[in-house]
Amino acid sequence: MLNPDTVRADFPLLGRTVRGGKPLVYLDSGATAQKPQQVIDAESAFYAQTNAAVHRGAHQIAEEATEAYESSRTVVAEFVGADVDEIVWTKNATEALNLVAYGFLNASLAAAAAPGSPAAEAVSPEARTRYALVPGDEIVVSEAEHHANLVPWQQLAAKTGATLRWIGVTAEGRLDPETYSVIGDRTRVLAITHASNVTGAITDVAALVSRARAVGAYVVLDACQTAAHMPVDLHALDVDFAAFSAHKMVGPTGVGALYGRRELLEDLPPFLTGGSMVEVVTMEATSFMPPPQRFEAGTQMVAQVVGFRAAVEYLRELGMEQVAAHEAAMTQLLLEGIAAVPGVRVLGPQDAADRLAVVAFEVDGVHPHDVGQVLDNAGVAVRVGHHCAQPIHRRLGVHASARASAGVYTTIADIEAFIEGLHEVVRFFATPETPTMQASTVESGKGRV
């Protein structure tokens, strides 16, 4: 069994104090995970010893930097059950999802252009055939999506004339199987989350992939919330594309990854163009490198990629089955503790089955920002707002929520401190003379959702 106290010692930030000397209780790992010293050291060592542009220089340092960059791709690919040439480096998961959506858009624009025109010839015939959308085609998402896996598809639908449809969410915060029927003969793309960043509910990917395959639709998976918290095998999941970010995986900010099936990346038009992704450039036209380099224009975030490798190696050493078991135990403690606090309601599944340690909640009569401020005063860090997921909040009948999310380093003591903080929230706002803090938090900038 994973020992969180031993793990915690690897994360220097978790040893600090806040708000006048209170020990930090970090329960915001769903937003971004803290970084172990191993990741910090890997980035620092790259800058100190190997810093150079990759795939460009003929000198030793450039060769070493390129080796570090590409070997990191191999390690990350193996971690998520992919082949090395199926992993594209991006700045984050949002860019990865946009890369796919804009690939469909570029193919659609080319297909709609006059045959033989420069606009039509800018995209290969194979790409136009595979990816072009026309009015009447359908894109299916869900009400549980993070905005990063919703807004790009809204934009794609608006620009191509395709219709956006969505899978509903149950009162418990899970995708509603009764609405899977929106996947139909005209569905071209199914874009779904692997797990909700609000309710923590894990999606039955197999059931949805089966429906998508039956109608020939592509499946795009947002794996941001799962990649650091449970074993993920993208080949076994049988999805076509998937996005995830290093910073949620105890890795650096500024780097994420797109997984794409090799044959699909071969035909996908590039999103960004420029240096590093070209083969031949003339004044009239340009030919592009094969994937994954085709999608990695410009100078890349090499140090962050190296840090990403260190993060994956760290998680692999812990063992993802052990990580999942530990976080399931923390989820159970969170749910039991919250249930014992009067006036507090969990948004989402009420038990730890088929869910992650991401627990959104509301306190009766108290604005989430005020909840967050009282907890912060006790040294407890949680997320407040709509968590970049307004539709699911609307479906669950709230504008915003507070959210506690655990990680590999979360301890029983962390959960106990959080629950005691929740009791303090209830006590504080039960006093008739207590003024609302909502106005002051909004004015100070903490009110942004």
Point out the domain boundary residue: 258, 286, 316.
Answer: 316
- Whether 430 shows a pLDDT value over 80: the answer reads yes
pLDDT at 1: 81
Mean pLDDT rounded to a whole number for the chain: 96
Tell whether 245 and 331 lie within a shared domain. Answer: no
Tens digit of each residue's pLDDT (9 = 90 or more) over 288-328: 999 999 999 999 999 999 999 999 999 999 999 999 999 99
With bands split at pLDDT 50, 70 and 90, how would you rate the model's confidence at 446?
very low
Tell whether 280 and 416 lie within a shared domain. Answer: no
Residue 271 lies in a domain: yes
CB 189 within 8 A of CB 139: yes
The set of residues, in sequence order, having a beta carbon less than 8 Å from that of 317 and lying 6+ positions away, is: none
- Whether 207 shows a pLDDT value over 90: the answer reads yes
Point out the domain boundary residue: 284, 316, 348.
Answer: 316
With bands split at pLDDT 50, 70 and 90, how would you rate the model's confidence at 439?
very low
Tell whether 221 and 105 lie within a shared domain. Answer: yes
Residue 18 lies in a domain: yes
Tell whether 383 and 327 lie within a shared domain. Answer: yes
Tell whether 287 and 331 lie within a shared domain. Answer: no
pLDDT at 444: 34
Residue 447 lies in a domain: no
Tell whether 215 and 340 lie within a shared domain. Answer: no
Residue 309 lies in a domain: yes
CATH number, position 404: 3.90.1150.10
- Whether 404 shows a pLDDT value over 80: the answer reads yes
CA gap 264, 260 in Å, rounded: 7
Tens digit of each residue's pLDDT (9 = 90 or more) over 249-259: 999 999 999 99
- Whether 330 shows a pLDDT value over 80: the answer reads yes
CATH number, position 79: 3.40.640.10
pLDDT at 437: 47
Residue 433 lies in a domain: no
CB 61 within 8 A of CB 52: yes
Point out the domain boundary residue: 274, 298, 316.
Answer: 316
pLDDT at 176: 99
Tell whether 73 and 167 lie within a shared domain. Answer: yes
**Residue whose structure tokens are 């620009």:** 159
- AA identity, residue 84: V
pLDDT at 60: 98
What is the β-pairing status of strands 256-260 and 241-245?
A: antiparallel
For residue 392, the enclosing domain spans 4-30+319-428
Tell whether 112 and 182 lie within a shared domain. Answer: yes
Write down the pTM of the prediction.
0.95
Q: List active site positions.
A: 388
Q: Which two tokens stand for residue 44?
A: 């620092």
pLDDT at 438: 46
Tell whether 333 and 238 lie within a shared domain. Answer: no
Beta bridge partners of 258: 88, 243
* CA nearest to 293, candidates 62, 42, 51, 73: 73
Beta bridge partners of 280: 287
With bands split at pLDDT 50, 70 and 90, how would you rate the model's confidence at 433?
low
Tell whether 113 and 158 lie within a shared domain. Answer: yes
Residue 444 lies in a domain: no
pLDDT at 431: 72
- Whether 443 shows a pLDDT value over 60: the answer reads no
Q: What is the mean pLDDT of residues 199-212?
A: 99
Helix 302-318 and helix 37-49: axis angle, to 10°?
A: 150
Q: What is the mean pLDDT of residues 410-417?
A: 99
Residue 79 lies in a domain: yes
What is the β-pairing status of strands 163-167 and 286-288?
A: unpaired
pLDDT at 434: 53
Tell whether 92 and 213 lie within a shared domain. Answer: yes
Tens digit of each residue's pLDDT (9 = 90 or more) over 258-278: 999 999 999 999 999 999 999
Specify the number of domains making up the chain: 2
* CA nearest to 89, candidates 260, 336, 281: 260
Tell whether 169 and 257 lie within a shared domain. Answer: yes
Residue 367 lies in a domain: yes
Residue 18's φ and ψ, nearest 5 degrees, are -140, 165
* Centroid of chain to Cα 358: 13
Please report, rounded to a whole number, the percentage of residues in the chain having pLDDT higher than 90: 95
Helix 368-377 and helix 412-430: axis angle, to 10°?
A: 120
Q: What is the mean pLDDT of residues 85-109?
A: 98
Over the range 415-438, which residues count as b (16 or more CB within 10 Å of their CB) and which as e? Answer: bebbbebbebbbebbeeeeeeebb
